[in-house]
A = this chain, B = another copy of it.
Amino acid sequence: PKKFKSKFMNALKSVKKIGKDDPRRIIHSLKVGVALTVVSLFYYSRPLYNGFGVAGIWAVLTVVVVFEFTVGATLSKSLNRGCATLVAGALGVGGHHLATAFGERREAIVLGTLVFMLAAVATFLRFVPKIKARYDYGMVVFILTFCLVTVSGYRVEELVELAHQRLSTIIIGAAACMLISIFVCPVWAGQDLHNLVASNIEKLANYLEGFQGEYFHSSEDKEKSKSLLQGYKSVLNSKAIEESLANFARWEPGHGGFSLGHPWMQYLKIGVLARECAYKIETLNTYLNPEIQTCLEFKCKIQEACTKMCSESNKALKAISSSMKTMTHPSAAKSHLENSKSAIEELKLVLEVISLEDVELLAIIPVATVAAILEEITISVE
Report which A residues bind B (CB closer than 8 A).
14-15, 18-19, 25-26, 28-30, 32-34, 36-37, 40-41, 43-45, 49, 54, 57, 60-61, 64-65, 108, 111-112, 115-117, 119-121, 123-125, 127-128, 140, 143-144, 147-148, 150-152, 154-155, 236-237, 239-240, 275-276, 279-280, 282-283, 286, 355-357, 359-360, 362-363, 366
Cβ contact of A37, chosen from B14, B60, B115, B127, cutoff 8 A? B115
Q: Which B residues lie within 8 Å of A276 (CB)?
A: 282
Other contacts beyond A28-B124, A64-B119: 15, CB < 8 A: A28-B123, A30-B120, A32-B120, A33-B115, A33-B120, A36-B119, A37-B115, A40-B147, A61-B148, A64-B147, A279-B279, A279-B283, A283-B283, A286-B366, A359-B362
Smallest CB separation, A331 vs chain B (Å): 29
Q: A119-B33, A124-B29, A366-B286 are in contact. Are A140 and B64 (CB under 8 A)?
A: yes
A36 CB contacts on chain B under 8 angstroms: 115-116, 119, 143, 147
B25, B280, B357: which contacts A127 (Cβ < 8 A)?
B25
Contacts of A28 in B (CB 8 A): 123-124
Contact A236/B279 with A18-B128, A111-B40, A111-B44 known, Cβ cut-off 8 Å = yes
> For A152, what are the chain B residues with a Cβ–Cβ distance below 8 Å?
54, 57
Chain B residues in 8 Å Cβ range of A148: 57, 60-61
13 pairs across A/B with beta carbons < 8 Å? A18-B127, A29-B119, A32-B123, A33-B115, A41-B108, A57-B148, A57-B151, A61-B148, A237-B240, A279-B279, A356-B356, A359-B359, A360-B362
The closest CB in chain B to the CB of A352 belongs to B357
Query: Could you say which residues of chain B place their CB within 8 Å of the CB of A19?
Result: 124
Check A124 against B26 for contact (C-beta < 8 Å). yes
Which residues of B are found within 8 Å of A359, using beta-carbon distances?
Answer: 356, 359, 362
Least distance between A192 CB and chain B CB atoms (Å): 14
CA gap between A121 and B18 in the complex, in Å? 13
